[in-house]
Amino acid sequence: MQINGKSVFNGIAIGRLFVYNKAENQIKRKKVTDVRKEIERFQNAREESKKQLSELYHKALKEVGEVNAAIFEVHQMMLDDLDYEESITNMITAQEVNAEFAVASTGDNFSEMFAAMDDDYMRARAADVKDISNRIITVLQGENHSIIQSEEPVILLADDLAPSETVQLDKSKIISFVTRHGSTNSHTAILARTMNIPALIGVDFPEDADGKMGIVDGQEGVLIIDPQVSVMEEYTAKKEKEDEEKRLLLELKGKENITLDGKKINLYANIGGVGDVADVLANDAGGIGLFRSEFLYLESEDYPTEEEQFKAYRTVAENMAGKKVIIRTLDIGADKKVDYFHLDKEENPAMGYRAIRICLDSKEIFKTQLRALYRASYYGTISIMFPMIISVGEVKRIKEIIREVKTELDEAGVPYKDVELGIMIETPAAVMISNELAKEVDFFSIGTNDLTQYTLAIDRQNPKLDRIYDAHHPALLKMLQMVIENGHKEGCWVGICGELGADITMTEIFLKMGLDELSVSPSMILQVRRKIRECRIEG
């Protein structure tokens, strides 16, 4: 039997299926005579719950990082919410009912209230308030908040899993989880991705699956129950290949990007959307060197709102748990068409109306993105990068608009951080004035794809010119060296985010040039790291 679902994290798991049924707390309404004693029972259970959550926070902190562990701090704060507490104590006092019933009723009421709200973030709190209420009830009933266990490693099937249950999973016993409910943006999903557990949601599995053999294909979003021999053999081969790749990861994960003679370099990943962050984490990138924000526009039927953009940027920043996230502002035009921008057809779009040229003309669209970026900066380590720069005047104009955005945020009382500002070096003009541009920004990121086509006057979209398109052309390499030297003279760090950065035949040359950072596709991180660690720069 094959059942489709939605992937939360890629990977293949093969093992016995275990259907986890939550032990529902059976709550009966009871009349109490000593109201004060019942309130004291509630207060003690609440303190014990906070203690448990503190322990869970520190466990999650070690396993999945500060940002992803923060949910347990949120739960602790929710336990201190006066409205929540007063609702419970008032119910105990006014109705003379037992603490368990008052907690369960209040949990249901608050959960329904949150679920009815328009804001996605607030709707997500509905599950949280149910979780903390169940925790208190469990303590009141004198039961342990059980950690999911099994005698052998299993694929866990559940109706849903609360964040507290997910973080308590014994990863030596759980090889995957599959749930009927949940969302790809839930705390549980984030934790699953950072814990590297293949996971599916939205899978309507049968209860009698318990004890049967199963396969989870996180790539295809499929659960297979009682697979045929041929299917099992096929997936066993895939799993062996995946395990071999993981062994490579285990060998290099946590190791520095450092040459044999001690030169270090930052190794970051390029991504096109929020969903790519899992690959960044799985491949142990030091950060994100290029978030192509235009994909938010390309995937939308209309201009993405400030709130939509903010949520995407914030999610990436939070998931990266303090690691650097460099977000490139809107870069449409050329080969990236967006119908609702109503751009005119151009004879030579690669050299036409695109990227920062559109943004500076469409100030409100630009400001909307900048506001979203600065708002999201509060939740992580964001840097902002501007594409297709050809003049110092453009950079100064950008900085004027940023000052306007900051003023608006200050007046609205919206928190943000001052962030690093950088530019893409992808035109010969930017290369030639890189000494002046370096005085205006904190970093350069060289876009070798466009820089190569503009330097060689070769349209990189034209297959007839592939034979003479040379990313190793001496002119290009001289340009790279010039940009690195000019940047460093003004205290500006320099990286590459174009395809050339992943060319391991060039890694040693880049290191000798003095490059500070390489940003490549997540799948290339380990190969480039291995190459860096094999290089010797001096001598």
Please tell me the distance from the alpha carbon of residue 405 to that of residue 311, in angstroms, as a whole number.
18
Contacts of residue 35, Cβ cutoff 8 Å, sequence gap at least 6: 92, 93, 96
Give yes or no for a contact between 249 and 526, defined as CB atoms under 8 angstroms apart.
yes
The half-sphere exposure of 295 on its side-chain side, counting CA atoms within 13 A, is 14
Q: Is 328 annotated as a binding residue?
A: yes
Rounded to 5 degrees, what are φ and ψ at 424?
-80, 135
CA atoms within 13 A on the CB side of 246: 11
In total, the chain counts a number of residues equal to 539
Q: Is 314 annotated to bind ligand?
A: no
Alpha helices (runs of H) in 97-196, residue ranges in sequence order: 99-115, 120-140, 163-167, 187-194
371 is in an annotated binding site: no
- Consult the annotation and say whether 217 binds a ligand: no
Cα–Cα distance for residue pair 76/55, rounded to 1 Å: 11
460 annotated to a ligand binding site: yes
CA distance 174 to 274: 26
Closest residue by Cα to residue 189 from 318, 93, 81, 370 = 318
Answer yes or no: is 123 a known binding residue: no
Residues annotated as catalytic (active site), given as ranges: 187, 497
Per residue in 248-264, is it b (16+ CB within 10 Å) or e — as a string? Answer: ebeebeeeebebeeebe
Cα–Cα separations (whole angstroms), residue 209 to 19, 157, 226? 7, 9, 9
Listed residue (136, 35, 38) closest to 94, CA to CA: 35
Question: Which residues contribute to the annotated binding site for Mg(2+)?
Answer: 426, 450
Question: Which residues contribute to the annotated binding site for phosphoenolpyruvate?
Answer: 292, 328, 449-450, 460
Question: Which residues contribute to the annotated binding site?
Answer: 292, 328, 426, 449-450, 460
